[in-house]
Structure 1
């Protein structure tokens, strides 16, 4: 197994169309996880495997995968960017240690960027910023950096400056080394050259490099004293300072590039390894009592401790229900019995699998720090804690938003009512932001979700996945009259 210090559990999040899934695809290609790059607009991205995702060109549900870079294991969750599927971002960030926030070089900070950033702040997730699409018309790296400061109230630590912009974008200058990373072969994304930075950028490079150093050295008194005495810190000293500041959320290393044009994604991978925390470097998960109050105990990231794991996602596929689990302490083994502290009942782990989008790799065991999926769990739902039956404890639960829009549905085939109920039950288990109720006055089945697109997708899933076609309409409004005052009258 990989040493825990070489783990990086990260999510990739962004506003819709900022290039998040394209970035994920390039990461998988560069790390050798896939051998052919699939494009989102062609419906061939690895992590967009639902039919609805491939047809619409957007991410609808989070997808997990893993890869290796510089002897480090990267467990990656690619999340949706559309506001209707925010729940997927929330529950992913809840179990991750770090993240890559992708911003469009022309669109800048957009509405879902703010929501995602707020969730990441609430979860205490360390982040790297990637200003993407600098090859796009209207792209402006410096404007986006200013927006991140002003709109998000964040402190972006600029680590690289773009060389060229829009059609002339060819790479970036690494401010630590003052070296230019240049991509000149559009047919070979792995091929780039490291050379001296352009002479006409000397002034701006020194300006931003000084800002970087002044911010970084604040993380280490000894390095700061050295800097104040006129001695420039070494690159290793600066990297150590940047790592400390990133993990403490003091600032966010900021890079630039074009994932679609295969430029600068290597810089992001290096930064994930160099600056984002391993599972032992983040704040331990608090354990809570039955009322949800912190007990004062914590799930220490250690394979030798009692099992503490959180179920953060349920997915029903053709092989049965998959329960996605983040293990915080202890070990999970195939065939072992665990306690679900929410139900108070024991569950047996039938199989353990490592996920690569919709593909599975069988495992015999998993340990603290791992993100895996379990097969065979019967009554586990999102947010439930799985633990050692002999040493039970509950982790902090998840809180889900209430739906904001409703539709009424009825099966076209009147004999399919029971089938509809079973299908909706499975869908609710997968998606805690999706609800159903029966109107007491009209008898209608009311589906509730986070937006029109959210419910459109659910209706489509009913048809394609569960073979239940429904009629869709607006919920009926029951009008009632109330007697407001007493009136006496006499009939003659």
Structure 2
């Protein structure tokens, strides 16, 4: 078991194409974990080991690698940058202690950069920043550094600056970095692919710049470190070790983000990032104890420290189905987990076998990596469990705790599929169930009437990857239909109604009345809620209160009036009721509550909601007019435009329905020179003609 102070659980997160996987490859290479550098373009990287990833040159699935750097044992998770696979980032950040955020020096802070930064904020994950691709045409380290603060509400602090910038053929190419803490020039030997680092004095022409940026670093630290402030006021020496200690404390508290620079493709600047992971990012001991509840006493908060003497608890954050037994990726928070032991999953009320423990390498179990036990703070692959799903807790059978689960975004796009023959039907059903276990943002539901299955995901690319896996990896003969948007329904106004049950059932006269109000919430995409506002003297007997609430909740889950789409953005209140001495029972009150709900929906006016996407488009000025014109035709609202050097960035909000095939369209409009990314931006009312296409 690794020492807790030496463990670092970190993730590499960024916008697509910022260079996350290349950074990971270089880290594996310089740490001695592999002898040759894999390349994304050649499909030879360790972490992008899926055929789809290698073909597309992008990361789709998060991968975990272990490496040793000096005294540190690092569990490193490489995550996707495409918004369709944002669940992979979400699940990783939930279990990580720190993160390295990668930005491209040319594109800077992009849409998905903001998304992953927000996700890191949500889980309170300390992070360091690596500005990559400084050898590219149009790279600008200082512009990106200046952009991070206002765009991400962050406090970036440069601890390195580049020497030169741009490609080798320019007059002042990027050729190394200057460490502002030690005041040293670091050059990375190209013959060893950057493995050998030469430490030299700062070039004379950069001495003044180094002092300016070092002073900025210290000025920022004075605001967070009383010790440094006192030493500065007393004109005492401030050593590099003191600076590193102050950076570490402030970084772990989330007050600052140390910024570094380099070019991972050419092996420049990667070793200092690994040094920074050890120096500045937290060990499990630096993070607060995890808290959870006892499922039998939900009001009791329980905490677990990262200590071997504490009862065992961990969180399942990823499941990879396999023929030899599903691989469960678990972050252990306390105690120790041993091979051939038993654990308890409170979420499912099931005991689970822990048959085997394996170290992870990418998405596979590491060869010769089977281990006897694993301690608090580590990440491990477990074989044996059968019932747990992503986000479930596994804990000691005698000391039960349920940790907060992982929440994922709702799907926004669906596609109908059906097997070509009955022989394929069972195989398809089993495969889709496996996908659902693996990917929490994928869903599949079969329509018994049509024989079709509706698969849902986070975007066109997500469904395309699923489609390829079904046909290529599993050899299924399946018909695919055009993707469709996942609409929702809400109401346009308020209504107050009385639902009645007044029926003769045999010799019994059934009777009940239920009075409710129904009104829209401010956010149309918010979860619909039912409230019991009926006073004690409101005529609703206590034994029927849960019946009425349950029926109204069932009706909410049953969908709306327009086409049975899920209901959201509305509040239902129970205001009163009336019961008779005879004939008022559970069934009568269910019928009355259902009748009230039906009337309320009609009177309040059903509204169809469509998913809205936030688009961020970066384009040369020459194509701006054509792109804006195309956006207007797609019912987009342009929220903001801003110039970044020779490029213009457009932020727009557009309905998902109008954005099918948009990545191809924008390439065509700009001769391949513009790029776009999108992420969900809530729901808004769909045009009346769209609602008219569905039958009431």
TM-score by length of 2: 0.67
Hey, what's the Cα distance between the residues in 1 that align with 2:190 and 2:333? 43
Mapping for residues 102-121 of structure 1, pairs under 5 Å? 102-121=102-121
Partner of 2:338: 333
Secondary structure (helix, strand or coil) at the match of 1:395 reads: coil
Partner of 1:262: 267
Q: Is the 8 A contact 2:294 2:302 kept in 1?
A: no
Question: In the alignment, does 2:321 pair up with 1:313?
Answer: no
Q: CA offset at residue 150 of structure 1? A: 1.5
Hey, what's the Cα distance between the residues in 2 that align with 1:479 and 1:85? 31
Partner of 1:271: 276
Partner of 1:62: 62
- Flag the structure with larger Rg: 2
Hey, what's the Cα distance between the residues in 1 that align with 2:305 and 2:231? 36
Deviations 1:254-299 (A, max 9, x none): 0000000000101101000001000010122111354996743212
Q: 1:316 to 1:131 in 2, by over 3 A?
A: same
Partner of 2:50: 50
Question: In the alignment, does 2:455 pair up with 1:447?
Answer: yes
Hey, what's the Cα distance between the residues in 1 that align with 2:238 and 2:346? 51
Deviates more, 1:191-200 or 1:450-459: 191-200
Q: CA offset at residue 216 of structure 1? A: 1.8
Q: CA offset at residue 187 of structure 1? A: 4.3
Q: 1:476 to 1:356 in 2, by over 3 A?
A: closer
Question: In the alignment, does 2:239 pair up with 1:234?
Answer: yes
Question: In the alignment, does 2:10 pair up with 1:10?
Answer: yes
Q: 2:411 aligns with which of 378, 381, 403?
A: 403
Q: 1:208 to 1:265 in 2, by over 3 A?
A: same
Q: CA offset at residue 67 of structure 1? A: 0.6
Deviates more, 1:153-162 or 1:208-217: 208-217
Deviations 1:296-332 (A, max 9, x none): 3212110111011100000013433100000000110
Q: CA offset at residue 61 of structure 1? A: 0.4
Q: Is the 8 A contact 2:14 2:113 kept in 1?
A: yes
Hey, what's the Cα distance between the residues in 2 that align with 1:321 and 1:18? 32
Q: Is the 8 A contact 1:442 1:476 kept in 2?
A: no
TM-score by length of 1: 0.94
Q: 1:363 aligns with which of 371, 386, 394?
A: 371
Deviates more, 1:216-225 or 1:264-273: 216-225
- Tell me: higher relative CO, structure 1 or 2? Use CA pairs within 8 A at least 6 residues apart: 1
Q: CA offset at residue 406 of structure 1? A: 0.4
Partner of 1:388: 396
Hey, what's the Cα distance between the residues in 1 that align with 2:163 and 2:468? 45
Deviations 1:185-234 (A, max 9, x none): 34432122111111111222111101111222333322211112222411
Secondary structure (helix, strand or coil) at the match of 1:425 reads: helix
Partner of 2:646: none
Deviations 1:9-36 (A, max 9, x none): 0000111110000000000011111111
Partner of 1:469: 477
Give unmatched runs, 5+ long, in structure 2: 168-172, 486-560, 564-601, 603-696
Hey, what's the Cα distance between the residues in 2 that align with 1:70 and 1:425? 43
Partner of 1:222: 227
Hey, what's the Cα distance between the residues in 2 that align with 1:147 and 1:442? 52
Deviations 1:419-471 (A, max 9, x none): 10000000000000000113466442100000011011111111233221321
Question: In the alignment, does 2:310 pair up with 1:302?
Answer: no
Hey, what's the Cα distance between the residues in 2 that align with 1:187 and 1:272? 23
Hey, what's the Cα distance between the residues in 2 that align with 1:116 and 1:174? 27
Hey, what's the Cα distance between the residues in 1 that align with 2:317 and 2:106? 34
Q: Is the 8 A contact 1:64 1:78 kept in 2?
A: yes
Q: Is the 8 A contact 2:189 2:195 kept in 1?
A: no
Hey, what's the Cα distance between the residues in 2 that align with 1:347 and 1:318? 18
Question: In the alignment, does 2:216 pair up with 1:174?
Answer: no
Hey, what's the Cα distance between the residues in 2 that align with 1:405 and 1:36? 41
Secondary structure (helix, strand or coil) at the match of 2:190 reads: coil
Hey, what's the Cα distance between the residues in 1 that align with 2:240 and 2:484? 67
Q: Is the 8 A contact 1:444 1:475 kept in 2?
A: no
Deviates more, 1:468-477 or 1:70-79: 468-477
Give unmatched runs, 5+ long, in structure 1: 485-492
Q: Is the 8 A contact 1:292 1:396 kept in 2?
A: no
Q: Which runs of 4+ in 1 moved over 6 A?
A: 291-294, 475-480
Hey, what's the Cα distance between the residues in 2 that align with 1:198 and 1:412? 69
Q: CA offset at residue 165 of structure 1? A: 0.3
Q: Is the 8 A contact 2:414 2:483 kept in 1?
A: yes
Partner of 2:96: 96
What CA RMSD, in Å, does the superposition of the two structures yield over aligned residues?
Answer: 1.9
Q: 1:225 to 1:277 in 2, by over 3 A?
A: same
Hey, what's the Cα distance between the residues in 1 that align with 2:347 and 2:484? 36
Partner of 1:125: 125
Secondary structure (helix, strand or coil) at the match of 1:421 reads: helix
Secondary structure (helix, strand or coil) at the match of 2:95 reads: coil
Question: When the two structures are aligned, how many residues end up with a matched partner?
Answer: 482
Hey, what's the Cα distance between the residues in 2 that align with 1:475 and 1:176? 54
Q: CA offset at residue 129 of structure 1? A: 0.1
Secondary structure (helix, strand or coil) at the match of 1:161 reads: strand
Deviates more, 1:470-479 or 1:278-287: 470-479
Partner of 1:211: 216
Hey, what's the Cα distance between the residues in 2 that align with 1:117 and 1:188? 31
Partner of 1:345: 350
Hey, what's the Cα distance between the residues in 2 that align with 1:363 and 1:187? 34
Deviations 1:114-134 (A, max 9, x none): 110000011111101000000
Q: 1:91 to 1:293 in 2, by over 3 A?
A: farther
Hey, what's the Cα distance between the residues in 2 that align with 1:313 and 1:292? 28
Hey, what's the Cα distance between the residues in 2 that align with 1:58 and 1:188? 23
Hey, what's the Cα distance between the residues in 2 that align with 1:291 and 1:105? 52
Q: Is the 8 A contact 2:2 2:375 kept in 1?
A: no
